[in-house]
Amino acid sequence: MSAQPEMPPRTAMEHRIPVEHRTAVEHRTAMRVHPELRPAFESLPRFADPYEDIEGTREGFHAMLAAVPADRTGVDSERFEIPRADGSALTVEVYRPEGGAGSGGGEGAAPGQDAGTADGGAGRALPAVLHFHGGGYALGRSLPGQDRAAIALCRELPAVVITVEYRLAPEHRYPAGVEDCYLALEWVAERAGELGIDPARIALAGKSAGGGLSAAVALMARDRGGPAIVHQSLCVPDLDDRVGADEAADAEGAGGEEVEAEDATPKGTDADGPDADEDADLKATGAEDADAEGALGARVTTGRSVQRSWKHYLPEGTAAADAYAAAARATDLSGLPPAYVLVCDLDPMRDAGLAYARRLMDAGVPVTVRNVPGAWHGFELFAPETRVAKEMAAHWTGQLRAALYPVAG
128-166 b/e with 16+ CB inside 10 Å = b? Answer: bbbbbbbbbbbbbbbeebbbebbbbbbbbbbbbbbbbbb
- Listing DSSP states for 98-151 in one string gives TTTTTSTTTTTPPTT--HHHHHTTSTT-EEEEEEE--STTTS-PPPTT--HHHH
Q: Which residue among 180, 238, 291, 347 is the active-site one?
A: 347
Beta-sheet pairing, 89-97 with 75-83: antiparallel
Beta-sheet pairing, 339-344 with 197-207: unpaired
CA–CA separation, 333 and 98 (whole Å):
38
Angle CA(42)–CA(45)–CA(48) in degrees, nearest 5?
A: 140
Alpha carbons within 13 angstroms on the beta-carbon side of residue 248 total 16
What is the radius of gyration, based on Cα positions, of the chain?
23
In the residue annotation, 377 being an active-site residue is answered as yes
SS3 string of 307-326? HHHHHHHCCCCCCCCCCCCC
Q: Which residue among 131, 133, 231, 377 is the active-site one?
A: 377
CA–CA separation, 243 and 350 (whole Å):
9
**Residues 178, 216 contacting (CB under 8 angstroms):** yes
List the one residue out of 186, 170, 232 whose CA is nearest residue 360. Answer: 232
Sign of the four-CA dihedral 383, 170, 49, 318: negative
Q: Map residue 340 onto helix, strand or coil.
A: strand
CA–CA separation, 188 and 191 (whole Å):
5
**Residues 53, 170 contacting (CB under 8 angstroms):** no
In the residue annotation, 172 being an active-site residue is answered as no
Stated as kind and residue range, the H or E segment containing 282 is helix 276-286
CA–CA separation, 223 and 26 (whole Å):
47
Q: Which residue among 208, 214, 233, 309 is the active-site one?
A: 208
Backbone angles phi, psi at 360, to 5 degrees: -60, -45
In the residue annotation, 77 being an active-site residue is answered as no
CA–CA separation, 253 and 266 (whole Å):
12
- Please give the C-alpha separations between residue 228 and each of 122, 150, 187, 346, 382, in angstroms, as whole numbers: 16, 21, 13, 34, 36
Q: Provide the annotated active-site residues.
A: 208, 347, 377
